[in-house]
Structure 1
């Protein structure tokens, strides 16, 4: 499999007074970033820039986000191709092409939805042909999920996620997503990736492979901002609550409001902002607005 991290030579500079300035040559650890081409039935669907590892989960979660599958039994198998286009200069398999087989009776992706450009690690929707393709209707109604989460439980999730970011500790260059039980705060799965949308697809893919869709009664905790595509992915997987340590975008808030998803931003320690569906958060002594 591809490497999660890579080593490189750097020059480390320390700025200070004339006598304190220093220059040291040393090795540094980077988060690996490589392309992954996702195929379905040998037909190319998308290319995403990702951190190698958990590729099957990434593909499964991506197919949920795209509305191709909604149940575990629809995802039959996946295999890293070993063809000429998936080998490096030395002939070794780069593990950068993954071919998914859908179960019999599962409709393949619409060829019109194939992404003809790279989906970068910064944005999950850059390769989509149009915004209409991104606004995929979910078969799961998150607005009907009556789960409630205690504010104390919600406040603990960012630190619970941070404590499990092992590769971030080594590189400082990865996003992370955690799927958590809304009632207990138990962390069900954590995945890291250079792309925030990939990290989310990986935890959703974990749920697919464990036959847990729809993800009722869960919280998706993410390490960065809450973008439109992250809200869309949560809705597609049936996740009722999305919490982010940074700000949401205006389009993310609009989609959360329309879908009935609870959207939390700036979740840091003892404070947070709730942008949509605040009624799911249980507070002992609610303060009048």
Structure 2
């Protein structure tokens, strides 16, 4: 977080004060394999958990399938440059990875990427519909919201950051990550699980503090997590993808209720 001096206008009064802002800096993710180095993504993120962020991004995009493919991960500063931690180099071992899943990150600036029939088909080749028959009670789902809010420490200080949280089958918070980017927050969370060998996670649920985009749904399906909840609405394509892959998709999770857009069979009493 960073201190920032600002001028506030409240109730007709003007005052000077200091506020806390969430940090935002670029991260370049490089892959090194067979002596070739390739930049695969540049994202604006909140510094911290960079290794998990990169691992989660590469896993959810189909580049990595197992932690053993990673030989090393470290921040890298080119010779003669000012040292920073804004470039991360990941050295891989084994065969050259498949980069086809990264196409949308090079050809569009949209937050949800190039979506549609090709994206559905590519995801289908990597993972089929979710088969988990685990169920959640409405009370457990409603109970996730106050746990998320209590654990969002950076949001409480800045008001300008997203969160992704993982809950177990009893509705208890297991992990939470925060970042200025909603996709980055989820990548950080999934990256931790991936590096620890804890994916897929069929008896768990995710809760994100943002709207439910196609890309968040895609990442959840890839991770083998059968439920994704959000505080806002899904897009039409996100709902279609969730329905096609048997993901329970819940939006507008607020105190007192929520909407189920697909996979209602996992909600007890529905």
Q: Give 2:103's aligned residue.
A: 113
The structural deviation recorded for 1:75 is 3.0
Matched residue of 2:193: which SS? helix
Give the distance between the partners of 2:47 and 2:116, measured in 1 at CA: 28
2:22 aligned with 1:31, yes or no?
A: yes
Distance 1:131 1:55, change over 3 A: farther
Runs of 4+ in 1 over 3 A off after TM superposition: 110-120, 130-136, 138-142
1:12 and 1:25 in contact (8 A); partners too: yes
- SS of the residue aligned with 1:147? coil
Q: Give distance in 2, aligned partners of 1:78 and 1:237.
A: 21
Task: Classify 1:267/1:111 alpha carbon distance in 2 versus 1 (closer, same or farther; 3 Å).
Answer: closer
In 2: Cα distance, 1:59 partner to 1:171 partner: 24
Q: 1:114 to 1:249 in 2, by over 3 A?
A: closer
Q: Deviations over 1:205-246 (max 9, x none)?
A: 010111011121110100111111100110111111000111
Matched, 1:6 2:7: no
- Over the aligned positions, Cα root-mean-square deviation in angstroms equals 2.2
Normalising by structure 1, we get a TM-score of 0.84
1:22 aligned residue: 13
* TM-aligned CA deviation for residue 103 of structure 1: 3.2
- State which of 225, 229, 235 in structure 1 corresponds to 2:215: 229
Distance 1:189 1:170 in 2: 19
Cα pair 1:74 1:106 within 8 Å, conserved:
no
1:152 paired to 2:139 = yes
Alignment of 1:76-115 (within 5 A): 76-84=71-79, 87=81, 91=82, 93-105=83-95, 107=97, 109-110=99-100, 113=103, 115=105
**What secondary structure sits across from 1:146 in the alignment?**
coil
1:66 correspondence with 2:61: yes
Q: 1:76 Cα shift?
A: 3.1
Alignment gaps of 5+ in structure 1: 16-20
Flag the 1:74–1:48 CA change in 2: closer, same or farther, 3 A. Answer: same
